[in-house]
Amino acid sequence: MKISINKNDVDNIKTDAVIIPFFEDSNNLTGSILKIDKIIDNKIASLVKTKNITGKEKEIVVIHNFSKIKTNYIICAGLGKIKDITYNTVRKSSGNIIRVLEKLKCKDVVWLTNLEYNQKTDTAKMAQALIEGAVMGSYIFTKFKTDKKAVRSSSVNKISISTPDLKNTSKIIKSAEKGLIMGQAVNMARDLENTPANRLTPFDFMNITKDIFQTKSDISIDIIDRKKAESLGMEAFLGVARGSIQEPYMVILKYQPVKNQKSLWLVGKGVTFDAGGISIKPSKKMGDMKADMSGAASVLAAMQVISELKPEKNIVAIMPLTENLPSGSAQLPGDIVKAMNGKTIEIVNTDAEGRLIMADAICYAVKNQAEEIIDIATLTGACTVALGHSAAGIMGNKQVNINKMTDVSHFTGDRVWQLPLYDDYLDYLESDSADIKNCTETGGAGTVTAGKFLEQFIDTTPWMHMDIASVMDYSKTDGYAVKGMSGYGVRNIVEYILLS
């Protein structure tokens, strides 16, 4: 997709569609909009008068050109009240609009907008949000469809942004291009998450990572295979892998442009299929557990963005990859394993496996003197009980970092909500036979006790944990959310890093 600034009068430019913003609490027919309306015999004003155009959020009205203007379609997009507009309002709107443009088979479009709608918004950030929404809203997963009619890609290949802020066009374009990179990365994560487990084993995931990064000179790749993991004492990680015939791997990506500086480490849970092990899950919707590697997918996609934007910050990503299956060789409830840092863990439920592989990955980051650790995982079903599907859970040991990530989420729309890590919760994990249980057996505080478990492997390193199980997928298509797996957290991670 090409992005540009349109400096011509929109009433005199040949394009497939012009998108016009409309608001509930504003006189919309001004400037270029008024000029267009006069040329098409006041059709827009007539629709406003009859309340067929109201400016309400999500409203989309398509007007044909009546052969009086060079554009084929005029699309009036409702954005609600100006005072209430956020970056996510525009992001959601452009996600909805892009699908309308595709149905109309539009290729080249002009987005007519002031972008800076109110004092709370920034022109360049609005451009980024607009493009992110368009790219994410156009997502479709048809990789395994054999009917050619079902296979499509977005028809829109050029978006021109029309803005009166011509003094900052280079900044606006740069932000819009960042939005393109971000949106494409989220869609890449979605592709991985939507791919079934027989097509995305730990070995496949490792090879995809190699294919993406082996030609990038600023990213190095290290692989910890079973033999290396054994030598490092990663019993927690290897214990989860015991039930599967698939070999486990830890894949490490290093972006380190600054010499003699510690790195921020990203840890992404990569269980490519989770049947629960011996503590097997119910069969209903078990197929969705192909996406239990969403944390690893988000981290991988974030590193793709990092390799494009090239911040002056050292970043290392580690993705523990395995399946969690029941078999004659599988880990058993009651087993005791030792993590890389020497802490012993009693396995009371083999379906609490994500925290085990994350524990050894976190230990590895700590051993390698991580400056800060951010982990992201579809860790607990309890997170959905706590937060529904509207936010991810966030916990950590440094409040200023949690505050920063929360602020970032307000911009991205990938919302997070802080949960406590009181020391009392450690009592829920007390074991009679090991240093710690791998999960609580009381049925309460499932998400928090999982975070408390991970905290035991952090030492004193600044750390933040995002449980994205509650936002792993979208149940319907709306705005930039497309039914299926979500790619949640990619943009949060990147924006956080860019603020560092």
Name the residues annotated as catalytic.
Answer: 281, 355
Residues in the chain: 500
Amino acid at 251: V
HSE, side-chain direction, 13 A CA sphere, residue 366:
20
| Gyration radius of the chain over CA positions | 24
Our CA dihedral for 480, 481, 482, 483, rounded to 10 degrees, sits at -170
From residue 272, give the alpha-carbon distance in Å to each of 296, 405, 469: 9, 27, 14
Cα 35 to its chain centre, rounded Å, is 40
Query: In this structure, what are the phi and psi dihedrals at residue 101, rounded to the nearest 5 degrees?
Result: -60, -40
Q: Which residues 6+ apart lie within 8 Å of 80 measured at CB?
A: 23, 24, 55, 56, 57, 89
Question: Are 325 and 241 spatial neighbours (Cβ–Cβ below 8 Å)?
Answer: no
Produce one character per residue of 222-259: b if its CB has 16 or more CB atoms within 10 Å, e if not. eebebeebeebbbbbbbbbbbbbebebbbbbbbbeeee
The Cα 337–Cα 344 span in angstroms is: 6
Helix, strand, coil percentages, rounded to 5, for the chain: 40, 20, 40
From residue 328, give the alpha-carbon distance in Å to each of 173, 276, 277, 332, 405: 57, 14, 11, 10, 43
Query: In this structure, what are the phi and psi dihedrals at residue 381, rounded to the nearest 5 degrees?
Result: -60, -25
Residue whose pair of structure tokens reads 């499509």 in the numeric block: 152
Residue whose pair of structure tokens reads 């030792």 in the numeric block: 338
Question: Are 5 and 63 spatial neighbours (Cβ–Cβ below 8 Å)?
Answer: no
From residue 95, give the alpha-carbon distance in Å to each of 78, 103, 154, 181, 266: 13, 13, 12, 16, 29
Give which of 92, 96, 46 is closest to 66, Cα–Cα.
46
